[in-house]
Amino acid sequence: MASSILRTEKLSKSFSNVGVQQHVIKNLDLEITEGDFTVIMGSSGSGKSTLLYALSGMDKPTMGRVFYGDEQIQDYSNDELAVFRRKNCGFVFQSIYLMENQTVFDNVLTGALIVQKNTPQLIQKAENLLKQVGLNEADFHKYPNQLSGGEAQRVGIVRAIINDPKILFADEPTGQLNSASSRDVLDIFTKIHQNGQNIIMVTHDLKTALRGTRVLYLRDGGIEGEYRMCAYGEDDLKERRSGLQKFLDEMGW
């Protein structure tokens, strides 16, 4: 049985808006195990992104606990959470969020050097990862505005995995990309998952969700249902799609 890497107990997150409390996540129990490519789906406002940020230590839960192994992070200060994130988490965003005033290579190293020392091995690793996602050396010294959306997102992925995070968190990573770029990016996600990377991804796109091994469907702040699949490429894509489609239909998607 795969070991647990992330677990929540009665996780809740509320927001106060003009004095009105909005309970976005309610008493949610969840366990992520080693090797999972977890996809979180749900209708708009179901709390997908909120859950992602609470799990990743980007935001503090209102109540409940978040365990990384034996380490509880819910009571960490903002700076403690930052230190926790740099060691354990990688992030890929819908808006990509590369730093405009830094080159591709520096964007990657800015993420890396907060954790690792500047060694030839690190530089080599960054180069290799960038090449693996399809960028060539000429692209390394380009600035973000000189890249296409797909290229930029690939840089974003390399920046997220350069520190070998325990979990890679992705929030709608293909949300701003065209279909060809989306496919390229998703292929990268599949590949790094195959290489052993744990991934938790939020999406509302079926094609993207197909890349996962476990789909959680959120409704009103709780997990409405769960659907498990084998690793992408190990089964027939049509059957995979129809199975997931059926699950989502049942969930009212």
Token pair for 119: 């060694």
By CB under 8 A, which span of 91-99, 181-189, 215-223, 228-236 interacts with other proteins? 91-99
> Nearer to other proteins by C-beta: 41 or 89?
89
Amino acid symbol at 95:
S
Extended strands (E) in 73-213: 89-92, 167-171, 198-202
- Cα distances (Å, whole numbers) of residue 54 to 15, 16, 30, 51, 64: 13, 16, 12, 5, 11
Q: Choose, by CB under 8 A, the member of 22, 69, 75, 95 that binds other proteins.
A: 95
Q: Which residue reads 């992030």 in tokens?
A: 91
Instruction: Name the minimum Å distance from CB 109 to other proteins.
Output: 4
Binding mask 14-53 for other proteins (x = CB under 8 A): -----------------------------------x---x
Regarding 211 and contact with other proteins (CB under 8 A), the answer is: no
Cα–Cα distance measured from residue 195 to residue 100, given in angstroms and rounded to the nearest whole number: 30
> Nearer to other proteins by C-beta: 46 or 213?
46
Number of residues counted as binding other proteins (CB under 8 A): 40
Regarding 76 and contact with other proteins (CB under 8 A), the answer is: no
- Cα distances (Å, whole numbers) of residue 23 to 13, 17, 169: 6, 11, 23
Instruction: Name the minimum Å distance from CB 24 to other proteins.
Output: 11
Regarding 123 and contact with other proteins (CB under 8 A), the answer is: yes
Regarding 195 and contact with other proteins (CB under 8 A), the answer is: no
Cα–Cα distance measured from residue 236 to residue 227, given in angstroms and rounded to the nearest whole number: 16
Q: Choose, by CB under 8 A, the member of 33, 62, 110, 132 that binds other proteins.
A: 110
Pair 88, 166: CB distance under 8 Å: yes
